Structure 1
Amino acid sequence: MRKQDVEAWDLWGAARSGRKERNAAGAETWFNWTQWPDHGPTEKDVFGDAAGVRVLDLGCGSGGNLAHLTAWGAHAVGVDISPVQLAKAHDRWPHLDVREETAERFLAATPHRFDVVYSVFGAAWFTDPADLLPLVHAGLEPGGVYAFSHNPPALTGCYGPQASQMHPPAKGDEPLYVRRWDYEPRTWAEIVERAGFTEVTAEVIPPPAGRRTGTLLVRGVRAP
């Protein structure tokens, strides 16, 4: 884990206002796969009922999705490298089980297997899939679901590891960058299938009216 990555995510987290108290439907907790509020599929649409399910959130941030799954009875754990983000999670939802760790290190060390592993604009986008996917596969129960979402590639023909600037630097400061991995949906599906997953889907969720950027959602199942 690079110190620069932690600094970048802390900066990004400090600049965000956090999840609102209620969504458009009046719910206090909800799951959001996309970058747009009150938009896109629910957790049930992607991996089913969360009650009693052992779940791992890779890059849980300030904990909004994790809090929703916990409220619905999941045994949920979240990992993130940003102390700023994790402090926000603890402040709003003190009961959440969140750990300051990289996805790779946590998966390599945990003795547990999970029914669901997911990442929403999190570690799945910002970790080399060659490193992460074997660990996710090994960490899932047979029949378990891996799902992740993030922006589609920003530039046509520009795929693989990219440099992502996290926040405009203040005057005189050096910009902070992290690496992300961009692929078209079909390529992501092939990568996930090669890692041993079945029933793989990769699609772009259309954006809400008035917005231009959709959300890439990838899902696969560890074979029983």
Structure 2
Amino acid sequence: MSLAETWDRFARERTPRRAVNARGQSTWLNWTQHPDHGPDEGVLGTPLPGLKVLELGSGNGDNLAHLATLGANCTGVDVAPRREAAARERWGHLPGLDFRTNEAIDYLTTESATFDVVLSIFGAVWFVDPDALLPVVRARMNEGGTLAFSHLPAGSQELKPGKAGMRHDHTPDEWTKLLHRHDFTDVHAEVIEPPAVHSAATMLIWATA
């Protein structure tokens, strides 16, 4: 089974995000897997209007759609064709928002565009060898831009066994060293505690290009 087929099968099992959150918002950014929990787009630390944003592993496009409503020009890349179709169906009416089906490294090495913000929320940064991915991400980022990503903490048992062998788990210290090695600076890494006992924490990391 190809990588695209594997993730397409995984996409079929996912429940679509609810239409409105607890605050009554129809779009929002969620770094964790828990609803109405964790920080918002303020992690990016910069006004979003006019910025070029790329999400690697954009899924159904929900997080990226929120940034588009704030004025960013957004591109989402996902290896699963089903994800692009779902994202276009739900968010295709928004301006400044585009979705592509592609593998992260292939996209970054064949496209010439550069970006001010690169996101990966439980996405490609977790599932692609960082020594292969981070250099090509850095090459497509404008100076002073922000790379931000989140995933389960290293050693978490929450991920389904079928995906456990695909992920690249690192501690905050290990991610900091990896990012510095690939010319990122001002690295911040934290573990966001879950909203309830026995639920999963989230590791959130952001750095400057």
Q: TM-score, normalised by structure 2?
A: 0.92
Helix, strand or coil: the match of 1:41? coil
Structure 1 position 4, deviation (Å):
2.8
CA deviation map 1:170-223 (0-9, x unaligned): xxxxxxx7611001111111111111111001111111133432100111101x
Distance 1:13 1:115 in 2: 28
Q: How much does 1:49 deviate?
A: 2.5
The Cα shift of 1:47 comes to 3.7
Q: Matches of 1:85 and 1:152 in 2, distance apart?
A: 25
Partner Cα separation in structure 1 for residue 29 and residue 47 of structure 2: 12
Q: Distance in 2 between matches of 1:141 and 1:114?
A: 6
Q: Percent identity?
A: 44
State how far apart, in whole Å, the 1-side matches of 2:151 and 2:201 are: 9
Aligned positions, number: 205
Give the AA of the match of 2:169.
D
8 Å contact from structure 1 (residues 44, 50) kept in 2: no
Matches within 5 A, 1:136-147: 136-147=137-148
Partner of residue 49, structure 2: 51
* Shift in alpha-carbon separation, 1:109–1:130, aligned structure 2, 3 A: same
- The whole-number CA distance in structure 2 between the counterparts of 1:215 and 1:30 is 17
Hey, what's the Cα distance between the residues in 2 that align with 1:67 and 1:203?
A: 25
Whole-angstrom CA distance in 1 between matches of 2:154 and 2:199: 13
Equivalent residue number for residue 112 of structure 1: 113
- 2: distance between equivalents of 1:211 and 1:53? 38
Report the equivalent of 1:193. 180
- Give the TM-score of the pair, scaled to structure 1: 0.86
Tell me the distance in 2 between the aligned counterparts of 1:111 and 1:6. 23
Which residues in structure 2 correspond to 1:14-33 (within 5 Å)? 14-33=12-31
210-219 or 75-84, which moves further after superposition? 210-219
Query: For residues 117 and 47 of structure 1, do their structure 2 counterparts lie closer, same or farther at Cα, with a shift above 3 Å needed?
Result: farther
5+ residue gaps, structure 1, are 157-162, 167-176
Give, in whole Å, the separation in 2 of the partners of 1:192 and 1:181: 14
Unmatched tracts of structure 2, length 5 or more:
none
Distance apart, 1:52 and its partner CA: 1.0
Letter in 2 for 1:197: F
User: Computing the radius of gyration over CA atoms, which structure comes out larger, 1 or 2?
Assistant: 1
Partner of 1:133: 134
Q: CA–CA distance in 2 between the matches of 1:22 and 1:9?
A: 26
Alignment-mate amino acid for residue 84 of structure 1: R
Confirm or deny: 8 A CA contact 1:164 1:179 kept in the other structure: no
Q: Structure 1's 178 and 89: CA in aligned 2 closer, same or farther, altered over 3 A?
A: farther
8 Å CA contact retained: 1:5, 1:178:
no
2:162 aligned partner, one-letter code: Q
Taking the aligned partners of 2:56 and 2:43, their CA distance within structure 1 comes to 19
C-alpha RMSD over aligned residues: 1.9
- 1:4, 1:220 → 2: CA distance? 32
The residue aligned with 2:59 is 61
Query: Is the 1:8–1:178 Cα contact (8 Å) retained in structure 2?
Result: no
Distance change (3 Å), C-alpha of 1:164 and 1:195: farther
Q: Secondary structure at the match of 1:20?
A: coil
Does residue 165 (structure 1) correspond to residue 162 (structure 2)? The answer is: yes
Partner of 1:171: none
Q: Secondary structure at the match of 1:131?
A: helix
Q: Given the superposition, is the C-alpha separation of residues 70 and 155 from structure 1 closer, same or farther in structure 2, using an over 3 Å criterion?
A: closer
Report the structure, 1 or 2, having the larger strand content: 1
**Given that residues 60 and 122 in structure 1 are in contact (C-alpha distance below 8 angstroms), is that contact kept between their aligned partners in structure 2?**
yes
CA distance in 2, matches of 1:155, 1:52: 37
Q: CA deviation at 1:60?
A: 0.2
Aligned to 1:170: none
